[in-house]
Amino acid sequence: MSAPASSGAGQPAPETANSAELPPPIGSPASPADTAVSLGDDELSDGEHLLGGGSGQQQPKIIVRTATSRSRRMAAGGAHGLARDAGAASSGCDCGPTCRLIGISRFPPAGLWFVKDVCGVFCAMFTWFLIFYAEYVVLFIVLIPAPSFAFKWINGVIFHVLILLAFSSHCKAMLSDPGAVPIGNATKENILRMGYRDGKDRVIYKCPKCCCIKPERSHHCSVCRRCIRKMDHHCPWVNNCVGETNQKYFVLFTLYICIASFFAIYLTVHYFVLCVGSEWESCASGFSPPATTIFLVFLLVEGVLFGLFTAIMCGEQLHGIINDQTGIENLKRERHSWEKKSRLVSMEAVFGHPFSWRWLSPFSSPNLSNGKHQPYMYSV
């Protein structure tokens, strides 16, 4: 946890803009004389640092303020974006090892994102269990004993393709960086290197928990212990946050699970009717009729519950993407201080640019490098 700033008297800076006194890197303990720095007669309140600018006011002023509440941040207009390239490592910050790319142990390996949360890991494993249970019942109880060769092959290929796409989307959503802000990048060097699109004075917020520059539309996740760009929500079923860079995979996961669930319901009902109509003579699955009925009933309940749940989740995700609003922003009713995008541009910002069949592929990473899709961002 970064040291809280205390109030202090403002000290006049020299007349030249380049020689203005700068505070120490954010996140390190601040002395009373460094808690407030002013240029000329401008004096900052408690917890603020002024970087850049000058007596001639020819350069935009950058005010660094600890983000204590979202309402205060949004009322001030917010910082336009994120310094994407982390420069300095965290110093004097208790950021926590839960969501770091390389934790205390040797897992996960370098370059792999994995959230070490017991509840999230259990939910993700339970999701895999339900997927493989549906796979087992459909394959060994419904399809293989089916008398029609065309029925078992056509429906088998369709169902297995849906399961493959759903499972791949889940793995990508779970093991992809959701858009985490680099830890400890709130240093004076990074802040002074930030470029703005309009050159206006800006208020830059730093997260007191992970000591990073807190961009507009980002939120700190208490489970991941990181600030996530365009964080929608933290989903325990994928053991990860749903954010700017992995929202595509989460939407595809809900879409393919929804389709596979209703397709499994169709296969289950069709098979059950066939078995009852033939008095179980056409159902040589290797299980007794009571055991087969139990398997089919559990699969039917699973298909109905997860089909409806993922259908609602997918609809909410697509509605939020089209309206350029995340789930947290909708829940907190945060006002739009950023430039709204059109519906097509909002979809391209999540699924990639330009529109193509790759939108539906979990094996294709979205191209999010086009800056016009994130007009709220500044660069470092």
User: Is residue 184 within 8 Å of 212, Cβ to Cβ?
Assistant: yes
- Kindly calculate the radius of gyration of the chain based on its CA atoms and give it in whole angstroms: 26
Closest by CA position to 117, among listed 249, 238, 244: 238
Q: Is 119 a catalytic residue?
A: no
Which tokens hold the place of 276? 């009852």
Q: Does an H or E element contain 295, and which?
A: helix 289-322
Largest CA distance in the chain: 96
Catalytic residue selected from 235, 275, 283, 314: 235
Rounded distance between C-alpha atoms, residue 67 and residue 213, angstroms = 10
Rounded distance between C-alpha atoms, residue 177 and residue 162, angstroms = 24
User: Is residue 188 within 8 Å of 23, Cβ to Cβ?
Assistant: yes
Cβ of 344: how many Cβ atoms within 10 Å? 12
Q: Which residues are marked as active site?
A: 235
